[in-house]
Amino acid sequence: MGVVTFDIADGTFEFYTDKMWEVQLQEWRDDLEADGCEDVAELQAEELMECFYGEEMFFDRIPDTLK
């Protein structure tokens, strides 16, 4: 599987492999932790995206059959 993000504000999208997505999620956790947020390890992808982009961005999983 993979992931695609959609930015509603500017209409762009970005594709991630599973590994790339996990790296991106960890980078967001690291950024939040550096800003003093606690318990970031427990945040799910939806919660992390909301912290950074609000309701302007969302993601969906891409089934292997579409790759």
For the segment 33-47, what is each residue's pLDDT rounded down to a tens digit? 999 999 999 999 999
Mean pLDDT over 40-55 rounds to: 93
Which range of residues forms the domain containing residue 62? 2-66
- Rounded to whole angstroms, the Cα distance separating 49 from 31 reads 12
Q: How confident is the model at residue 1 (pLDDT cuts 50, 70, 90)?
A: confident
Please determine, for residue 66, whether its predicted confidence score (pLDDT) is greater than 80. no
For 25, the 3-state DSSP assignment is helix
Per-residue pLDDT, 31: 96
Look at the chain and count its residues: 67
pLDDT interval class at 54 (50, 70, 90): very high
What's the number of domains the chain is made of? 1
Task: Work out the average pLDDT over 18-43.
Answer: 95
